[in-house]
Amino acid sequence: MYLFDASAIANLVKRGSLKPLSEGVTLDLAAYEALNAVWKECRLRRVDPETAKSFAEVLKGVFSVIPTESVRGFEVEVLELALREELTVYDAAYLYVAVKNRLTLVSDDEKLLKKASRYVRTAKTADLLDRSR
């Protein structure tokens, strides 16, 4: 089973490849991170506001069906991991949940994948898409 971070979800949505998401979970914070990525693309004028709204609608659908995990109750452990591995708290949250639940972490964040690979199995979205062909 997979744990998808926000970068993976956003990239799968951009590619129109939602099927891999049926094989995993994400964190509750991924919705905010993914929506922020859409906002950033719009602010940088890489997508127009209407396209951004369309992506937001797709994300709304994704987050209404993909199971979500939380780090509530494990804030200290996540902070310790973030400090030890020099990760953001957001990235450490994904890594912590992946380790705790023995999940393969799916991300397109190279720094996170490098650090996470010492703890859990990792994959990029391209890896999942290659396997499904």
State the average pLDDT over residues 99-115: 97
Contacts of 119 (CB under 8 A, 6+ apart): 95, 98, 99
Global pTM reads: 0.92
For 52-91, the pLDDT digits (tens) are: 999 999 999 999 999 999 999 999 999 999 999 999 999 9
Q: Which amino acid is at 14?
A: K
For the chain, what is the mean pLDDT?
A: 95
Distance CA 65, CA 86 (A): 32
pLDDT at 132: 67
Spatial CB neighbours of 92, under 8 Å, sequence gap ≥ 6: 78, 79, 81, 82, 85
Q: What is the DSSP letter of 9?
A: H
Tokens 């940088």, located at residue: 44
Q: So what's the pLDDT on residue 131?
A: 78
Q: Using an 8 Å Cβ cutoff, are 42 and 52 in contact?
A: yes
pLDDT at 133: 61
Kindly tell me the number of DSSP H helices and DSSP E strands found in the chain: 7, 5
Domain boundaries, the chain: 2-127
Topology classification of domain 2-127: Rossmann fold (3.40.50)
